[in-house]
Amino acid sequence: MKEEFRARMLRIYFGESDKWKGKALHEAIVTKCQELNMAGAIVYRGIEGYGTSTRIRHPSPWTFSRDMPVMLSIIDREEQIDRLIPHLDTMVEEGLIAMSQVEVIRYSRDPGKMPQEH
User: 115 in a domain, yes or no?
Assistant: no
What SS3 class is residue 83?
Answer: helix
User: 103 in a domain, yes or no?
Assistant: yes
Q: Give this prediction's pTM.
A: 0.80
Provide the domain count of the chain. Answer: 1
User: 58 in a domain, yes or no?
Assistant: yes
Element spanning 56, H or E = none
User: 117 in a domain, yes or no?
Assistant: no
Instruction: Indicate if the pLDDT at residue 52 is higher than 80.
Output: no
CATH at 75: 3.30.70.120
Residue 63's domain comprises 2-109
User: Percent of the chain scored above 70 by pLDDT?
Assistant: 79
User: 84 in a domain, yes or no?
Assistant: yes
What pLDDT digit, counting tens, does each position of 59-115 carry? 555 555 567 889 999 999 999 999 999 999 999 998 999 999 999 998 988 755 545
Q: What one-character-per-residue DSSP string does 7-22 give?
A: EEEEEEEEETT-EETT
CA atoms of 16 and 95, how far apart (whole Å): 11
Are 72 and 26 in contact by the 8 Å Cβ rule? The answer is yes
